[in-house]
Amino acid sequence: MIGETFDYTYHDRVFNYKPSGNQPNIDQIHYIIEKLKKDPYSNRAQAVTWMPWVDEHPEIGPPCLQIIWCKVIENSLEMHTYWRSRDAYAAAPMNMWALTNLQKIIADAVGVEVGQYVDTAESYHVYEENFQRVQSVVNLSKIRRESGKPVWLDTSDPRLKD
């Protein structure tokens, strides 16, 4: 079960995908890069994590990330990710950080700029053990807004400049 032990990693599923049978493993990120170098406007530059021959078993924690889809639009790499299920508090922010870093790696390899990142989740939720933490963030945001302070870090603050 994820959280106690890891049945897989997203990295392994996209860089070292193991097809069923005796087929060789697939580096899907390499595939995306090569596909976009040859055909930047292709709708086929995608990686999948789902392995039905593995993930249908109830004792396995199936991946939440399902698809990474990339396309070059106006010389920028657009990346869409599709999630089966998403922990909004404990996982989503770091997942987004990691995937936008992967987007930059792919864009650099293809020779284009980083474009839009689109993140779609079918089930976006907060687990009960994190309700109090989320409520604290909401309360702090409300207090800051009511006092006229920025809700989040104000990057225009001159004290944050070099």
Classify residue 5: in a domain, yes or no: no
Q: In this structure, are 59 and 135 located in the same domain?
A: no
Same domain, 95 and 28: yes
The whole domain housing 141 covers 129-162
59 and 86 belong to one structural domain? yes
Name the token pair of 4. 């106690």
Which residues have a catalytic role annotated?
64
Please give the span between the terminal C-alpha atoms of the chain, in angstroms, as a whole number.
45
**pLDDT at residue number 1:** 37
Selection from 115, 131, 91 nearest residue 3 by Cα: 91
Asked if pLDDT for residue 3 goes beyond 50, the answer is no
For the chain, what is the domain count? 2
- 47-75 mean pLDDT: 91
* Contact present, 81 and 122 (Cβ < 8 Å): no
Q: Print the SS3 string covering 104-146.
A: HHHHHHHCCEEEEEEEEECCEECCHHHHHHHHHHHHHHHHHHH
- 100-126 pLDDT, tens digit per residue, is 999 999 999 999 999 999 999 999 999
Tell me, yes or no, whether 3 lies in a domain: no
Residue type, 85: S
* Percentage of the residues of the chain whose pLDDT score is greater than 70: 89
* 107 located within any domain: yes
Same domain flag for 108 and 37: yes
**Do 36 and 68 reside in the same domain of the chain?**
yes
The answer on 107 and 39 residing in a single domain is yes
Give yes or no: residues 140 and 108 share one domain: no
Across residues 73-89, what is the average pLDDT?
96
Residues 33 and 16 in one domain: yes
- Do 69 and 114 sit in the same domain of this protein? yes
Question: Residues 91, 133: one domain?
Answer: no
Report the CATH number that the domain containing residue 111 is assigned in CATH.
3.30.572.10
